[in-house]
Structure 1
Amino acid sequence: MIRVLLADDHPVVREGLRGMLDAEADLDVVGEADSGPRAEALCAELLPDIVLMDLRMPAGGGVESIRRIRAAGLPCRVVVLTTYESDSDILRAVEAGASGYLLKDLGRADLADAIRAAARGETVLAPTVKTHLLRIFGKLGVSDRTAAVTGAMRHGLL
């Protein structure tokens, strides 16, 4: 079983995600958080395999929560699930340690497959996100994510 924590400030989104994931025999939603700080606490308490993290939540979340989860050495992988697909949002999430970046227009089967891939240690990216990353790589004159983060830091973009 892949243990999943949902982090989104909208109850209807969390309920919808839970309903989608409950239909998958190998995915188990173990908790829900309405903010980044709550997701961080539940991540430490429940030790999920995957955290699906909304990028922007009024009570805090997203990039800073990803950084804190990674810094705490927690074993969970954080996959961003958001509507935001700007170059800076994507790069900041990747730099913070996100294992993936997905958009909320994803269907159930694709979302379940992405969660499984992330649990296996693979990076999961939505097709439009891949396009953004390639554009960022070109602007920075690099060929991979690590070099992009290094280059963005060197140019004061992060």
Structure 2
Amino acid sequence: MEQRTIRILMTDDHPMIIEGYQNTLLATKKESQNLIIDVASNADESIKAIKYSIDIKKPYDIYFFDVSIPASSDGRYQSGMDLAAYVNDNSPQSKVIILTMFEESYRINKILNEINPEGFLIKSDLTASELSSAFQRVLNHEVFYSSTVNTIIKKMQPYKIDIDSINHEILYLISTGIKTKDIAKHVNMSLSAIEKRKKHLKIIFAVDDGKDETLMEEAKSKGFIS
């Protein structure tokens, strides 16, 4: 039987987690698959491996990126999302699987919109079987999202409400208790611009009483925030 060599880079700052991922893939791979698995524990190690693989024209077939990892020493790569974006731009034939502990609707939608990964796994959903299924299906040019991701997508779909990433972030920040006057520190906008966006959001979500609390209730009921 002809063997297919599959090159994988896993980036996570928890050695035991990476070891678990490696053992799962090696134990469940098909007989025709030969897995070469490299690992990185921070953004510096990961970007070095990514760039080297591209330079020698042997890019990785699949990348596993944990969202929360130590940033690069130059500050350019702050998370697994930044590394995934680099891969999307510089090695588009490679597949990306994102792993995260985050379960908030805002964060999940941000990853879907900005990275659009082939695989998206919430760690609280993760089992050995699900990791193996995600790996094999992504290899087969399919998309695999874990149950939490699918639930949030399905909850939002019926409403056909379209808001941009800034408005979505404003919703998320309000939901965490941050006051309007302090939101400007997070989105780099003037207070008046934020107030205009909030007013527009209340129109979109049909908030008749003008209250932020009602806006939060409507956004939550439609899956835009958790």
Give me the TM-score of the superposition, normalised by structure 2.
Answer: 0.58
Alpha-carbon RMSD across the aligned residues, in angstroms, is 2.3
Closer, same or farther: CA 27–135 of 1 in aligned 2, 3 Å: farther
Partner of 1:100 in structure 2?
119
Residue 12 of structure 1: CA displacement? 1.3
Higher relative contact order (CA 8 A, sep 6+): 1
Partner of 1:147 in structure 2?
none
Equivalent of 1:157 in 151, 168, 188: 168
Partner of 1:82 in structure 2?
100
Partner of 2:147 in structure 1?
127
* CA distance in 2 between partners of 1:56 and 1:50 (Å): 19
Farther-moved stretch of structure 1 (122-131 vs 106-115): 106-115
Residue 110 of structure 1: CA displacement? 2.1
Structure 1's consecutive aligned runs of 4 or more residues displaced over 4 angstroms after TM superposition are none
* CA distance in 2 between partners of 1:84 and 1:67 (Å): 18
Partner of 1:31 in structure 2?
38
User: Is 1:49 the equivalent of 2:61?
Assistant: yes
Partner of 2:172 in structure 1?
none
Deviations 1:119-154 (A, max 9, x none): 222111011210111223345x16xxxxxxxx3427
Residue 107 of structure 1: CA displacement? 2.1
Task: State the secondary structure of the residue aligned to 1:6.
Answer: strand
* CA distance in 2 between partners of 1:48 and 1:73 (Å): 9
Equivalent of 1:115 in 123, 132, 135: 135
Residue ranges of structure 2 left out of the alignment (5+ in a row): 54-58, 72-77, 170-226
Residue 157 of structure 1: CA displacement? 2.8
Residue 40 of structure 1: CA displacement? 3.1
Task: State the secondary structure of the residue aligned to 1:157.
Answer: helix
- Which residue identity is paired with 1:64? D
The answer to whether the Cα contact below 8 Å between 1:7 and 1:52 also exists between their aligned partners in 2 is yes
- Which residue identity is paired with 2:106? S
Aligned residue pair count: 149
User: Is 1:9 the equivalent of 2:9?
Assistant: no
The answer to whether the Cα contact below 8 Å between 1:5 and 1:48 also exists between their aligned partners in 2 is yes
Give me the TM-score of the superposition, normalised by structure 1.
Answer: 0.80
Partner of 2:90 in structure 1?
72
The answer to whether the Cα contact below 8 Å between 2:121 and 2:145 also exists between their aligned partners in 1 is yes
Percent of counterpart pairs with the same letter?
A: 23
